[in-house]
Structure 1
Amino acid sequence: MPYQQISGLRVHYRDHGRGDPLVLLHGLGSSSADWAFQAAPLGDHFRLIAPDLRGSGRSDAPPGPYSIAQFAADNWALLDDLGIERSHLLGFSLGGAVAMEMALQRPYAVARLMTINTLPSYRLDSWRKRMELVSQVAIVRGLGMRRLASLAARRLFREPHQAPMRRRVLEVVGNAPRVPYLDTVRALAHWCALDRLPGLQSEMLMLAGEHDYTPLSEKREYAERFGAKFAVVGGSRHGTPFDAVNSCNAVALAFFRGQPLPAAETLRIDTPERAPLAAPAAFSN
């Protein structure tokens, strides 16, 4: 089980596949295991490096405060130790913010950058963002992580055939340590890259679920503003790598291989017949 010592921090990561390096960055309250559904198809073409951010998964959880810049610096230190000078980046939700921050810290070292359901700023500049933060903190402090996970599971995965995904949220987020989780929430709420994104040098793609927490119009506006490609998965909510596995994988493969993206009308949530019944074991190291 691979670990790396970085400035006194023990970081767990997964190293899978072969080819050009592709760093996978997980979402809030989870770990590198987020990418189980992407590991097999992407690992056929790329060397996947998937770290657990500090405070998450099997990595150490030192006392906070945390910051997105710190998460990004941790990951660059890991890549330096692994001898990786240039890579692609793929981040989901929180991981997308970390991926953007990494690309801003070392623009020359990122080939292609893809985010899934991520904004370039999470500062509390709207009532929607303030309510998201206040409600999360209140639920965690008053009712605990298990209750937060239960509410998130029903919000993320509403279809009957998505029961396995609801169970996964309960297991993973419900067992996440409370203090590091809140430290990470606060780190995200203080992060903004809007004034720095013109400094990006890599090609960028923003993938969005049709029914994500934040409006499509907001993400589309950001994509146009910063010259990023933009694609939408119909019917998907926030958990696009889980509720639209086939579309998510098709888009990622095409983008990172420099090929045309799949036609917009083909990007849809997984049907009951195609939806996974459980996470595969191929990415279990």
Structure 2
Amino acid sequence: MPQIRLNDCLFHYTDQGSGPPLLLLHGLGSSERDWEYQVPALTEHYRVLCLDSRGHGQTEKGGNGYSIPLFAADCLAFIQAMELEKPHIVGLSMGGMIAFQLATNSPETPASLTIVNSAPEVIPRRPAEYWMAGKRLFFAHILPMRAIASGLGKMLFPKPDQQHHRDTFQARWCENDRRSYLASLRAIVGWGVSAQLDRIVCPVLVVSADQDYTPVEQKRNYVSRLGDARLEVIADSRHATPVDQPEAFNSLLLDFLQQVDATRTLTHEIDPA
């Protein structure tokens, strides 16, 4: 398996296909395996790279000093080390937060962003939000990983015919390094770049499941504050949209990416400089 050392951490990644570069960023407590239903379709058109964030998957574990800005700095270092010119970036949940951070820090880097079931901030502002954040942190610190995996698996994949997804999710979740998982969770709560959204200059596709943790309306609100952005809602889906609705998600993503590429090609032909 390919590995690369960046920012004093040894990262695992995959690199498949050929064409314009496309970087996929997974969610909290997961790995590049988040994208197993996307990679075969995407590699027909793109060079697809998946990076395990620090503390996740087969990347080096630790748990000290984790933050979304650090994860974004890791991604930027990876893009530079791999010499990826204007990559498309797709982020699921925590991966979407990392993508937002990277695009506000380095607006010239991405060709496009696709944000899946995510947001530009996780800052509690109302009593109910403080309660939910506190409850999640509390139970994450006291419950065994297996219990967390069981509860999340049933929430993400509640249907009887989703037993395979539940079993797979629970088995993989239990592979997490507990210290790294908790450090990553703490990195999310209180993070935000909502005040810097005007720095994002690339096209943005926001994908929301109709039954995601956060309401579609919240995503509609932040999409309205972005420039070249649109929101698409996938029906009969929960937080793990690329897994529970892969065909709909893949079609939506490929259409968006190819529209962006066609526009970039046309712009270059009109103004090569």
TM-score by structure 2 length?
0.91
**CA distance, structure 2, for counterparts of residue 257 and residue 101 of structure 1:** 24
Partner of 1:170: 170
Check the 8 A contact 1:41/1:249 in 2, yes or no: yes
Code of the aligned partner of 1:235: D
Q: Counterpart of 2:143 in structure 1: which amino acid?
A: L
1:238 aligns with 239
Q: Deviations over 1:107-148 (max 9, x none)?
A: 111111001100111012234543443233222322211101
Matched, 1:21 2:24: no
What whole-Å deviation, never above 9, does each CA across 1:218-268 have from its counterpart, x for those lacking one?
111111222320000111111101110111100110011117xxxxxxxxx
- SS of equivalent to 2:38: helix
User: Match for residue 150 of structure 1?
Assistant: 150
Aligned residues: CA RMSD? 1.3
For 1:104 and 1:3, locate their aligned partners in 2 and report how far apart those are by CA, in whole Å.
Answer: 27
What does residue 250 of structure 2 align with? Answer: 249
Q: How does 1:39-118 map onto structure 2 within 5 Å?
A: 39-118=39-118
Counterpart-to-counterpart distance in 1, 2:202 and 2:153: 34
The answer (yes or no) to whether the contact 1:139–1:147 under 8 Å persists in 2 is: no
Give the secondary-structure state (helix, strand or coil) at the position aligned to 2:103. Answer: helix
Tell me the distance in 1 between the aligned counterparts of 2:242 and 2:132: 21
Q: Report the secondary structure of 1:229's partner residue.
A: strand
Partner of 2:188: 188
1:224 paired with 2:233, answer: no
Partner of 1:6: 6
What is the Cα deviation at residue 44 of structure 1? 0.7
Kindly indicate whether the alpha-carbon contact (under 8 Å) linking 1:146 and 1:175 is maintained by their aligned counterparts in 2: no
Distance 1:128 1:45 in 2: 44
Distance 1:127 1:15 in 2: 44
Matched with 2:265 is none
Partner Cα separation in structure 2 for residue 91 and residue 200 of structure 1 = 15
Q: Counterpart of 1:22 in structure 2: which amino acid?
A: L
Number of corresponding residues: 259
Give the structure 2 partner of residue 138 of structure 1: 138
* Structure 1 counterpart of 2:198, one-letter code: P
CA distance in 1, matches of 2:252, 2:176: 30
Identity rate of aligned residues, in percent? 33
AA aligned to 1:243 is: D
Q: For 2:63 and 2:155, how far apart are their aligned partners in 1?
A: 30
Provide the rounded CA distance (Å) in 1 between the counterparts of 2:189 and 2:128.
12
Deviations for 1:23-55, whole angstroms, at most 9, x for unmatched residues? 000001000111000000011111111100001
| Structure 2 equivalent of residue 265 of structure 1 | none
Whole-Å Cα distance in 1 between the matches of residues 119 and 217 of structure 2?
12
1:3 is aligned with what amino acid? Q
Could you list the runs of 5+ residues in structure 2 that have no partner in the other structure?
A: 261-273
Q: Distance in 2 between matches of 1:122 and 1:71?
A: 16
Q: Is the 8 A contact 2:62 2:179 kept in 1?
A: no
SS at match of 1:149: helix
User: Contact 1:115–1:207 at 8 Å: present in 2 too?
Assistant: yes
TM-score in terms of structure 1 length:
0.88
Q: 2: distance between equivalents of 1:80 and 1:90? A: 17
